[in-house]
Chains A and B, each alone.
Chain A
Amino acid sequence: MNAYRTWWFLYAFNVLILKYIFMTKKEKPIELEDVVIRFSGDSGDGMQLTGTLFSNTAALLGNDIATFPDYPAEIRAPQGTVGGVSGFQVHFGHSRVKTPGDLTDVLVAMNPAALKANAKWLKHSATIIIDVDNFTPKNIRKAGYQDDPIKEEKLEDYNIIKAPVSSLTKEALKDMGLDMKSVLRSKNMFALGMIYWLFNRPLTFTEEFFKSKFKKKPEIIEANERVLKAGYYYAETIEALHTTYIVRPAKIEKGTYRNINGNTATAWGLIAASEKSGLQLFVGSYPITPATGILEELALRKDLGVITVQAEDEIAGITTSIGASFAGLLAATTTSGPGLALKSEALGLAVITELPLVVIDVQRGGPSTGLPTKTEQSDLMQVLFGRNGESPVAVVAASTPSNCFDYAFEAARLALEHMTPVVLMSDGYLANGSEPWKVPEMKDMPEIKPRIVPEGTQDYQPYKRDPETLARGWAIPGTPGLEHRIGGLEKDEITGNVSYDPLNHQEMTNIRAEKVKRIVNDIPELKPEGKAEGDVLLVGWGSTYGHLKSAQEELVKKGKKVGLAHFHYINPLPGNTADILKKFKKILVCELNMGQFANYLRMNFPQFEYHQLNKVQGLPFTVAEIKEAANNLLEE
């Protein structure tokens, strides 16, 4: 530790000298309403962690935040190439933050490729921090530039900070005896330190993180702390960054808050439903991007009795869950589009056996393997109709990272109370994005009443139904006297025995459809936001909510008569859907696919005309795109 003290003394001394030389008195910080920062580098540069640490600090200081991790499918894509750039965008503010932001105020570019990938998303006069050590002629050419990236991107007027991040990291750690790989791995902390200084953030939360994360590796804790501080003092010292900024805490509702991403929220929603229904949670699943985080979180939660089976394939994921549902547990399976395709036949089995089952589809770009790490909403038709036979399932969709909790809970509630499979739709943007979340109290969550048939019930028939919901009774194996058989062959309307009777098949098909339709009586009505009537109604579903809401608010602020109808219940649609659609002159359905929800609305409500805004670039909408489309429609 002596060496460390000596080093620190020298470093602090140097800083004082430099401060003296530059006479940079810390000016009064400038207050900002909100700021967008993008950390960007090679996929091995630790940008996801850097962004997460900054976000956690912002959240803990009471800012509202929204994050957008954007990374390549390859774990270590070719170094220095644009394809290998990994980014993490965080938007934090003094008021409510609904999106990770269209354009960035601050870009951290650890190499020329990171600049190349992100230059088009910069605000005018943005601050760009580059690791000048990595701007070598070789790297510059690898990124597709000739010789001067700044000039070629026409960024000369921007606030560019050429920081020797790599060399100062090496310098800070030179006496620690670490290998070069470990040394360079901490350079992301240098950049983070600079950003902390720029935005007047304390280092404490991040230092605490090092201490708990690397409990058994004190040298790594020390290295990270040294580099973080080195970056912080470097930023304080250099002339280029003489102004700092403050973003005051957001005025948000009282309560206990935490930062949560969509996948964790989804996992927790299922566990909450397990507690409220009194049924142990069983999850059979197979790893697939971007859904895997749900299985990982659930595997941790053995303390709450969660059973996870990492199955041999997607089909075993859902079929083990169906077996568990037959045996009487709350069962769920998690996947993404390609996995859902493999599960289709089994999902039909859950439909015909009328067992409760939650299927979670965290969508990604398709078709086929498509864009595994990028977001898209193109599984809607697959979820609604992608099975053989007349095979209706209930469908709900989450719209923010934190309400994945609510809709996972809701999917489980509907499955258990209506004896049907329910698909919860999420996507890569929600799964990996995070935001502060006011933690609910379990006593405020609704009770869930599974339709378990009690022991001693006389004349139990597997397909006898509740007259109101048409849900059948659920007799759990092990209960004496309720022995029965169910399966994938068409069932007699009452007894559940195999039946090939033509009229019975018609009747059972009708009942299965009607049962799902009647869920409409058990879900809330659609609440339009912004104007309740007017010129343009923005329509969306799922993860586009934040961007649509921001666009709607900004348009209303400009005096436009614009409303927003955002759908969380997809099948069945809320009962008042048509009443809301008819109150606007024009309807603009915005979705990250080529028009699947628009077509679904056309099918359900053919009396209206639907305009579309569609995008399939693996990226969320920008607020500007939505505003432009709405304005075009307003001007027509």
Chain B
Amino acid sequence: MSEETTQKVVYTPKDFKSDQEVRWCPGCGDHAILNSVQRAMSQLGIKKEKYAVISGIGCSSRFPYYMATYGFHGIHGRAAAISTGAKVANPGLSVWTITGDGDSLAIGGNHLIHVVRRNVDINLLLFNNRIYGLTKGQYSPTSVKGQITKTSPYGTVEPPFNPGELVIGAKGRFFARTIDSDIKLSVEIFQEAARHEGTSVVEILQNCVIYNNGAYADITAREYKEDRQIVLRDGEPMIFGKERDKGLMLDRENMKLRVVKIGENGITEKDILVHHSNENNPGLHMMLVNMSWPNYPVAVGIIRNVASPTYDMAVHAQIQKVKQSSPIKKMDDLLKSGNTWEVK
């Protein structure tokens, strides 16, 4: 690729908007996520032509059409596999996988766990609205138990997946959670996800105004969101609340997290757990992703961020290694290798 080509190294979010009309419902959380991604990409210092945005099927998967980058709209559930192929084929690309709770946790569950296990260097944005929107309102694998939808008119009877638990269980090295409307936090997380080498899964709690309105209202409403969310930041104590007077401690007797009030029962800031996203042991991270209101605040931010060799690099490194030692350098060598004989 010619370095001479005068490329803008600094972009504005507008540079990432395609000429296509955005067709999500007015008020859909996807609009905000699109803005966050465009903003994040414009600031990463990666050339525009290096981005490939790859999606599956669902409302969120229309995403690539609205981006001015290379884009590929795949089939249901397969975004992670298509992304794996693209990234391994061309490790120079910055691959962003756009998927939803139905796409990645139901029909594409197998690809999700394996892309995470292999640690392919992609950024996978999982839009979790706990509903099938594009097919007009059926329950998904993240719908809360008892949720009433068109295919569960009497409420679902099945327990949901927690995406973070699944990802960490599948040996995930990077898991973060954000909220569609929190553009500042989302931009920050997307950029960190892009910098992480390996599969970065970002769960975005996303509202569906039509079929699951208020899916996360109990934790996102302005009046109490500070009391019901905890923003995890590396090296900082796990403190939350409007008054920043609540924190998390590890109850060592039963190995559970406990919400405590600073200043009560002699508890000081020093007693509060400090967040280390790079801790290799997934135990505490698993507890953090599993926290749910009302027993706990819901954790947002980068929960886990552990360095580990990537699949795509390992594949290419192995090829280079074999190339160096093998006497077969081109096809003719292979054709004439081993047992051959001459007919004269």
Contact = CB atoms under 8 A, between A and B. Distances in A.
A304 B326 CA distance: 9
Given A324-B88, A497-B65, A441 B81 contact: no
A327 B2 CA distance: 18
Contacts of A487: 55, 64-65, 71-74
A327 B52 contact: yes
Contacts of A220: none
A323 B83 contact: yes
Contacts of B294: none
A322 B111 CA distance: 15
Interface in A519-535: none
B27 to A, nearest CB: 22
Contact of A346 (B75, B83, B89, B318): B75
Interface residues of B, number: 64
Nearest to A255: B343
Interface string A478-490: 1111111111110
A607 B123 CA distance: 57
A327 to B, nearest CB: 4
Interface residues of A, number: 71
Query: Chain B binding site: helix, strand, loop or mixed by DSSP?
Result: mixed
B78 A315 contact: yes
B73 A326 contact: no
A303 B333 CA distance: 11
A323 B75 contact: no
A280 B316 CA distance: 12
A281 to B, nearest CB: 10
A282 B88 contact: yes
Contacts, number: 218
Interface in A248-291: 252-259, 268, 271-272, 275, 280, 282, 284
Contact of A442 (B1, B83, B90, B331): B331
Contact of A322 (B82, B331, B341): B82
B187 interface: no
Contacts of A56: 339
Interface stretch (A120-128, A162-170, A305-313, A413-421): A305-313
A394 interface: no
Residue of B7, B81, B92, B326 with most partner-chain A CB within 10 A: B81
B70 A442 contact: no
Interface in B1-22: 1-2, 5, 7, 18, 20
Contacts of A302: 318-319, 322-323, 326
Given A303-B323, A303-B326, A483-B69, A312 B110 contact: yes
A319 interface: yes
Nearest to A311: B81
B49 A316 contact: no
A48 interface: no
B48 interface: yes
A268 B334 contact: yes
A498 interface: yes
A537 to B, nearest CB: 33
A60 to B, nearest CB: 5
B74 A316 contact: no
Interface of A: 56, 59-60, 62, 205, 252-259, 268, 271-272, 275, 280, 282, 284, 301-307, 309, 311-313, 315-316, 319-329, 331, 345-346, 349, 353, 438-442, 455, 476-489, 497-498
5 contacts: A254-B344, A272-B331, A312-B110, A320-B85, A486-B72
